[in-house]
Amino acid sequence: MHSGEIRQKFLSFFEKRGHKVVSSASVVPANDPSVLFTTAGMQQFKPYYIGGADAVKDFGSLNLASSQKCVRTSDIEEVGDKSHLTFFEMLGNFSFGGYWKKEAIEWAHEFITKELGLTIDYVSIFAGEVNVPEDKESEEIWKSIDPEITIKKFGRADNFWGPTGEEGPCGPTTEIYVDGIEVWNIVFNEYYQNKDGGLTSLKVRGIDTGMGLERLVKVVQQTDSVFETDMFESLIQITDSRIVADHIRTSVFMISDGVIPSNTDRGYILRRLLRRAYVHARKIEAGTEVLNSVAAAVINHPSYRNLYSFAANTKEVVMGEIEKFKKALDAGLKQVEKGEDPFILFTSYGLPLEIIEEVTTVDKEKFERQMEEHKKMSSVAGEQKFSAKVGGSANPEGGKN
């Protein structure tokens, strides 16, 4: 089954069960300054869970389904293994008071076992922790569907999801595992978590589910990793480097949603991805044209037709940043070859240790000592600048310590 068919099957399945199919939002969240990128399907629907917006008025339904473009870079070091990616699509069904646990679990079971013909290894439910009780209701529902099913119970670290950012809707989860992989996370949004971590009950209980399409496709197509599925085929034909394929793919999606490389926030994350991609390409002696070809393969992927309209600009941003970086890196490395300490790659070229390690030999302990020293010097310099500004005293309140 092709990835396009799996995505469509999911959306049609929920459409037939009273859901309105909604397009993916941008990877740059529209009204949520607490996060840099969209990390889950529910993010564009946050106001509907907390009563700040009316789904019936806006979508004609309390129940929605989507395939959302997501960016998560917290696991960037894991990229290249069998299942971690910095960009992925998340299939999700959502409800803001329309249905609750029974329907959500029964439909998830039906979709996985009947529509996709997969066998569930086991499911997990919330074991109860602090003042959130054990999820006995989900346990009963699973047993009523399949008395033989293995049910594991875990606490807040594993079976409780959200909020995205500092505050928001969240709740206990039940998760479905196939071939040892967590494929589907079903969240019962019953709570609102405040900035101080306190939970209050939401007036209307909501459903929020997330199923990573790339992982699901790996399980359906029975490949060894996500990179061998049809979703990555045209990219991996150009380069074996999974890191290059992943990072350029994510960069293309970021750029087409308006992110440009910079030294802060989203722009910095994009810059870091492009630089990492270049450094890995360089390590396997691939030229910059490989990065251009991978970007073109993402843009030309049959699943992502809407990337076409940004194609020229996207490739220009990708290659512009990479060429600039290549020049700086070559100049810095020349200085190192001539005997300069590799630390200048940080002080003069702004490269982080993880990149410097990839391009030259570094004494890590020495580098870290130099880094500490550098930080001290910068804070002294900063204080001196500050005291000059406030007339000789480092304390703006005038001598109180």
Under the rule (CB under 6 A), what is the footprint of ligand GLY? 40, 42, 161, 185, 187, 208, 210
Least Cβ distance, residue 66 to ligand GLY (angstroms): 11
Query: What is the C-alpha separation between 334 and 390, in angstroms, rounded?
Result: 42
* Nearest approach, Cβ of residue 161 and ligand GLY (Å): 5
Whichever of 189 and 241 has its CB closer to ligand GLY, that residue is: 189
Least CB distance from residue 305 to ligand GLY, whole Å?
Answer: 25
Smallest distance from the beta carbon of 197 to ligand GLY, in angstroms?
19
What's the min distance (Å) between Cβ of 37 and ligand GLY?
Answer: 13
Spatial contact of 102 and 58, defined as CB atoms under 8 Å apart: no
Q: Is the peptide bond before 163 cis (omega within 30 degrees of 0)?
A: yes
Judged by beta carbon, residue 187 or residue 279, the one nearer ligand GLY is: 187
Considering the complex, what minimum distance in angstroms separates the CB of residue 200 from ligand GLY?
A: 19
Q: In 3-state terms, what secondary structure has residue 60? A: coil
How far is residue 113 from each of residues 110, 118, 121, 137, 220, measured CA to CA in Å?
Answer: 5, 5, 11, 21, 11
**DSSP 8-state class, residue 304:** G
3-state secondary structure of 170: strand
| Min separation Cβ 355 and ligand GLY, Å | 30
Residue 224: CB minimum distance to ligand GLY, A: 24
The per-residue DSSP string of 32-62 comes to: -TT-SS--SGGGGGHHHHTTSS-HHHHHS-S
| Residue closer to ligand GLY (CB basis): 62 or 243 | 62
In angstroms, rounded to a whole number, what is the distance separating the alpha carbons of residues 20 and 232? 29
Calpha distance 77→263 (Å, rounded)? 20
**Choice between 97 and 210, CB closer to ligand GLY:** 210
Element (H, E) at 182: strand 181-193
Nearer to ligand GLY, 164 or 293 (CB): 164
Smallest gap from Cβ 168 to ligand GLY, in A, equals 11
For ligand GLY, which residue has the nearest CB?
A: 210
Which residue lies nearer to ligand GLY by CB, 186 or 236?
186
DSSP letter for each residue of 233-283: HHHHTT-S-HHHHHHHHHHHHHHHTT----SSHHHHHHHHHHHHHHHHHHH
Nearer to ligand GLY, 209 or 314 (CB): 209
Residue type, 7: R
Cβ proximity to ligand GLY: between 40 and 216 the closer is: 40
Strand boundaries in 9-156, DSSP class E: 20-21, 63-71, 87-96, 122-126, 151-154
CB of 176 to ligand GLY, least distance (A): 12
Nearest CB to ligand GLY, comparing residues 90 and 359: 90
Which DSSP state fits 339?
T
CB of 189 to ligand GLY, least distance (A): 9
CB closer to ligand GLY, 91 vs 307? 91
Residue 190, classed as helix, strand or coil, is: strand
Residue 10's H or E segment, with its range, is helix 3-16
- Name which of 112, 169, 100, 170 is nearest 138 in CA terms: 100
Cβ pair 171, 188 in contact under 8 A? yes
Residue 6 pairs in a beta bridge with none
Considering the complex, state which of residue 107 and residue 161 has its C-beta at the smaller distance from ligand GLY.
161
Reduced to 3 states (helix: H, G, I; strand: E, B; else coil), residue 174 is: strand
User: Which amino acid, 369?
Assistant: R
